[in-house]
Amino acid sequence: MRRKVARREFLKQGVLGAAASGLAAGQASALEGPAAPSDRVVLALIGAGRQGMGLLKAFGEQKDARLAAVCDVYAPHREKAREASGAEACADFRRVLDRPDIDAVVVATPDHWHPLMTVMACQAGKDVYVEKPVSVAVGEGRKMVEAAGKHRRVVQVGTQQRSGVHFQHAVEIVRSGRLGKVTLVRTWNVDNSFPEGIGNPPDSAPPPDLDWEMWLGPAPRVPFNSNRFGVRPDAWSSFRWFWDYAGGMMTDWGVHLLDIVQWAMDAEAPRAVWASGGKLALQDNRETPDTLTVSFEYPGFVAVYENRVCNGRPFDGHGYGITFHGSEATLFVDREGFELIPEWGSEGPRRTTRTDALREGSSNPQVATHVRNFLDCVKSRERPVSDVEVGHRSTTTCLLANIAYRTGRKVHWDAAREQVQDDPGAAAYLRREYRPPWKLEV
């Protein structure tokens, strides 16, 4: 019989997560590589699109950081970043890596460039802040981890929710057992862009101020298409919806959500993953599904991810989020805060916590803290809160979901060996061929 939780006990246990800050610091350990040569960290930004410009602003607000270079293959982005920062601008990221005055690079390019740029930056003796997902294939992510270890570099992944105080509190509540036995965790993103989606433009010549060959880099050579490039003033770039460069919403947002799930549930990886969905309604040229459900089987619990972009009705009033369903209580968390809801029959009230930064009008308070953590680790040589090993494992979980979807089969995962069990067809998706002359070598 389920134990009822008294009101006083529930309130006492509810949000007083004094140990939460220790969750973020608990994985820290010293790296032996050289620290930044001065108290001021000299940075270069590679990729100056919408996300890159946001990071340019976040790093620019740190008094001990100086942006010395910006790099982008698209001239309008490059010039905008130069004007905003006063930094030297270039089109080839290798020029940035050759500069001895630069301590660290910020990689905010399309996803298919993340692994190669991170590995090459580590080889050049630079620390790295790299956006999520870390890779398009599991094998690439493992090489990023190996490069960071071999060259003793600090590599922070842009899963900034780990730096959010209320996320840390929520994780502490789950780990403390206050929810009882958690058997199901639900994650989701919903929206409605029916029926046109991103549209269906024809292939064409690339803009004269874009180096399309360099933009493609290690990805297959294909004709320019404005949706593959995807730059638009009113939305995030649509390269996310093409398999050569990304993994759809599953890797774009799923990494953020499942990263918190695995952290809170102290789970390294799922044992099995199966997925169902398809491109069922949108009349555009995207390759990734418009409707997707995924089930992740972990020891002791199941996690579910749902994405639909043809119906925007939210779950419990939320268009995205994470809900931990326990035998004693339910916990919902997103970037605005968390809500603790006692199970029916208990005497505890609902309890909602919002972040102070959001009360003050900040749209994403975790970014500044995450950037601060990276800079501190560049100096101290401690491992950052979203170390590349952590980011790789969270990305891998989402990549397995895409493998299950693309093969139409349940994927059984050996996390220790990072191999799919008894399915050569699925295993083929763990690696990605690089187009010459690019090579991913640690």
Which stretch of 153-162, 319-328, 345-354 has the lowest confidence by average pLDDT?
A: 345-354
DSSP letter (8 states) at residue 74: B
Q: Where are the domains of the chain?
A: 1-28+178-203+234-360+389-421, 31-153
The pLDDT tens digits of the residues spanning 423-435 come to 999 999 999 999 9
Rg, Å, the chain Cα set: 22
pLDDT at 42 over 90: yes
The pLDDT tens digits of the residues spanning 275-316 come to 999 999 999 999 999 999 999 999 999 999 999 999 999 999
Which stretch of 147-161, 228-242, 346-360 has the lowest confidence by average pLDDT?
A: 346-360
pLDDT at 29 over 70: no
Q: What is the pLDDT of residue 350?
A: 73
AA identity, residue 273: V
Distance CA 133, CA 138 (A): 11
Q: What is the pLDDT of residue 34?
A: 58
The pLDDT tens digits of the residues spanning 233-244 come to 888 999 999 999
Averaged pLDDT for residues 100-115: 98
DSSP letter (8 states) at residue 18: T
pLDDT at 12 over 90: no
Question: Cβ neighbours of residue 437 under 8 Å, at least 6 residues apart?
Answer: none
- The answer for 277, left when phi > 0, alpha when psi is -120 to 50, beta otherwise, is left
Short-list 315, 345, 348, 347, CA closest to 332? 315
pLDDT at 359 over 60: no
Same fold, 1-28+178-203+234-360+389-421 and 31-153: no
pLDDT at 355 over 80: no
**Topology at the third CATH level for domain 1-28+178-203+234-360+389-421:** Dihydrodipicolinate Reductase; domain 2 (3.30.360)
The pLDDT tens digits of the residues spanning 89-106 come to 999 999 999 999 999 999
Interhelix angle 50-60/366-380, nearest 10 degrees: 60
SS (H, E, C) 152-202: CCCEEECCHHHHCHHHHHHHHHHHHCCCCCEEEEEEEEEEECCCCCCCCCC
Alpha helix locations (H) across 253-317? 254-264
Averaged pLDDT for residues 206-210: 98
Q: What is the pLDDT of residue 37?
A: 54
Q: What is the pLDDT of residue 363?
A: 47
Round the average pLDDT of the chain to a whole number and report it: 91
189 φ, ψ to 5°? -140, 130
pLDDT at 245 over 70: yes
Averaged pLDDT for residues 222-231: 97
AA identity, residue 314: P
Give the bridge partners for 331, in sequence order. Answer: 324, 340
Is the N-terminal amide bond of 34 cis, ω within 30° of 0? no
Exposed (0-12), middle (13-18) or buried (19+): which is 75, by Cβ within 10 Å?
A: middle
Class of domain 31-153: alpha beta
Q: What is the pLDDT of residue 26?
A: 41
| pTM of the complete model | 0.92
Task: Give exposure, 313-352, as e/b (b: 16+ Cβ within 10 Å).
Answer: eeeeebebbbbbbbebbbbbbbbbbbbbbbbeebebeebe
Exposed (0-12), middle (13-18) or buried (19+): which is 121, by Cβ within 10 Å?
A: buried
pLDDT at 23 over 80: no
Structure tokens at 411: 């994927």
